[in-house]
Structure 1
Amino acid sequence: MSGTESLVEVALRVLNTADPVEKARLGDEVANKWLQGLITQPYDPSQHFTVPDRPARLTNVKLVSPSLMPKLGKAGSLQSRQAIVHSLVHTESWAIDLSWDIIARFGNQEAMPREFFTDFVKVAQDEGRHFSLLAARLEELGSFYGALPAHDGLWDSATATSEDLLARLAVEHCVHEARGLDVLPTTISRFRNGGDNQTADLLEKVIYPEEITHCAAGVKWFKYLCLRSKNLVDESSMVFEEGGARESDRIMEENDEVIQKFHATVRTHFRGPLKPPFNEAARKAAGFGPQWYEPLAVKDVIPE
């Protein structure tokens, strides 16, 4: 890996790596080099690279339509626990690609600031670690990644938003990832009730808190793009900090136009209404309150 390569160049290398284990390892290496300042340039404006429509993937996982996926169960049996963890491993494998794809596909194209790249490098590194930990746990449970069928609905959404960064942020990070925050507490409880505290601890102590920050990255940069389009941000002084109380953050949080834009974007690029119940505490920690998602929700849904 040359020190003269840009982040976008090496992100493409990750996307073109088929083996998910190697993909996670290479992604971690790239992330460390970026965060340590060994990769200095986010992209070279003079160079144009082709981002693959679909990242390289092994063919060892049988893919089926989401409607044909077998029920995962409620973690009461070993078979159910294997199925749930396998599903999570598959999701994280795609999450790695999604993180590097948003860097390679949109960073240069949208002339995003350096902090955008850093945020999604951190997300990508987290997703790679989640994949590795869950894949190892799946093997401890007596199974392996590829033992069960899976679906690629997550990448279908990425394909549908491949020409619009605002839509990608809204659908992948503020809808799909937020849905993960909604269901994870129940999943954790099911593993505990099934006597599998090891998997429950992994989900609760490592994956759950980090997924909140991933959703927060989507919310943050969705707000940024909306306000930048109206010339309401100063590129030189607008700095985001996790947990910070900057005036710019307060202005963005209260900007009704941003929320209305979110509603319009989701209605255009996401099929159907959002499904409650919502994890309001986790969503609030990620930076968006009920006014963002409740108007998009289906009514009278019976909780699972």
Structure 2
Amino acid sequence: MNSAENSVSRAIRAAMLTADPRAKVMAARAVARDWAAGRLEASFDCAMPDYPARPDKPELLPPNAMPKRGRGGSERGRLALIHALAHIEFVAIDLALDAAGRFGGERGPGFVSDWLSVAADEAIHFALLERRLQSLGSHYGALPAHDGLWDAAKETAHDVAARLAVVPMVLEARGLDVTPVTIERFEAVGDTRTARVLSRILTDEVNHVRFGTNHFTSVCAERGESPPALWKTLVDLHFRGAIKPPFNDSARRSAGLSCEFMAGVA
């Protein structure tokens, strides 16, 4: 096999263009393994797709067209929440793959390693949640899903600093804030299996946000920019929403999001 056929960018692109959820999980994990084992060339000879492949189901809807999940601990509400979380993790596989393939050439092997490891983690998270849905008599695709998650990738495709500022340092960081409360909700209704899955995800997401913060800080150092100041500027430009408290201050600090970053954003 020649180096072009064995390039990491081609392997990443192939994984992103895999529509079947289980096959995408396997493809993402295989790319991460092959890269870590030195079986892929650090060649960025093909472009990332503008939009990754998606299965026929779930039906993808605009955010304002999503049905309400409802409140309380009903089985229907819990299934809807698990399904929504599974979809977030499914899209997160492609977000991490895209970061590695789109920006790896300029940022180097360490950047690629970090984001391929994130892609492998997200694949495991999706698989755990999908298995939980099946154990509850449902499956991924049984309900519609939010089609706005890829917007962050499209909005920041031109600039690695913007991508890092918005995806790990805003979107994934929000997961640090809301997941503990979600875990408590499942524990309150006796669903300890789902709570354990979410606890595993929370631990991994702290590492993902830390990768984002560390790489963002490195980019800022190269550009002679203040990390908190540039982060706020890029979030204002590229994030369509508000960053609202309450914040999980301890998890954010563990991930490198200091009080200086968070000052004045809410």
Q: TM-score, normalised by structure 1?
A: 0.83
Cα 1:194/1:75, change in 2 over 3 Å: farther
Runs of 4+ in structure 1 displaced over 6 angstroms? 1-4
Counterpart-to-counterpart distance in 1, 2:109 and 2:16: 20
Q: Deviations over 1:226-260 (max 9, x none)?
A: 11123xxxxxxxxxxxxxxxxxxxxxxxxx81111
Equivalent residue for 1:43?
43
Indicate yes or no: 2:264 matched with 1:295.
yes
Deviation of 1:38 (Å): 2.3
Deviation of 1:2 (Å): 7.3
Counterpart-to-counterpart distance in 1, 2:70 and 2:184: 13
The answer (yes or no) to whether the contact 1:75–1:84 under 8 Å persists in 2 is no
Equivalent residue for 1:236?
none
The answer (yes or no) to whether the contact 2:162–2:234 under 8 Å persists in 1 is yes
Equivalent residue for 1:89?
86
Cα 1:183/1:2, change in 2 over 3 Å: farther
Equivalent residue for 2:251?
282
Q: Deviations over 1:251-302 (max 9, x none)?
A: xxxxx811111111111111243111001011011011122123111xxxxx
Q: Deviations over 1:25-49 (max 9, x none)?
A: 011111111112222x2225xx3x1
Secondary structure at the residue paired with 1:146?
coil
Q: Deviations over 1:165-217 (max 9, x none)?
A: 1111111110000001100000000000011011001111x111001111111
Equivalent residue for 1:153?
148
Equivalent residue for 2:14?
13
Indicate yes or no: 2:114 matched with 1:119.
yes
The answer (yes or no) to whether the contact 1:63–1:150 under 8 Å persists in 2 is yes
Q: Which of residues 202, 209, 213 is equivalent to 2:207?
A: 213
**Counterpart amino acid of 1:261?**
L
* Structure 2: unaligned runs, 5 residues or longer: none
Q: Which of residues 137, 144, 147 is equivalent to 2:132?
A: 137
**Counterpart amino acid of 1:138?**
L
The answer (yes or no) to whether the contact 1:167–1:269 under 8 Å persists in 2 is yes
1:247-262 equivalences under 5 Å are 257-262=226-231
For this pair of structures, how many residues does the alignment match?
A: 265
Counterpart-to-counterpart distance in 1, 2:60 and 2:10: 29
Secondary structure at the residue paired with 1:107?
helix
Equivalent residue for 1:33?
34
Deviation of 1:74 (Å): 4.5
Counterpart-to-counterpart distance in 2, 1:174 and 1:74: 28
Counterpart-to-counterpart distance in 2, 1:17 and 1:136: 20
Deviation of 1:75 (Å): 5.5
The answer (yes or no) to whether the contact 1:226–1:258 under 8 Å persists in 2 is yes
* Structure 1: unaligned runs, 5 residues or longer: 231-255, 298-304
Please tell me the root mean square deviation across aligned C-alpha atoms, in Å. 1.6
Q: Which moved more, 1:147-156 or 1:2-11?
A: 2-11
Q: TM-score, normalised by structure 2?
A: 0.95
Indicate yes or no: 2:188 matched with 1:187.
no
Equivalent residue for 2:237?
268
Counterpart-to-counterpart distance in 2, 1:172 and 1:99: 9
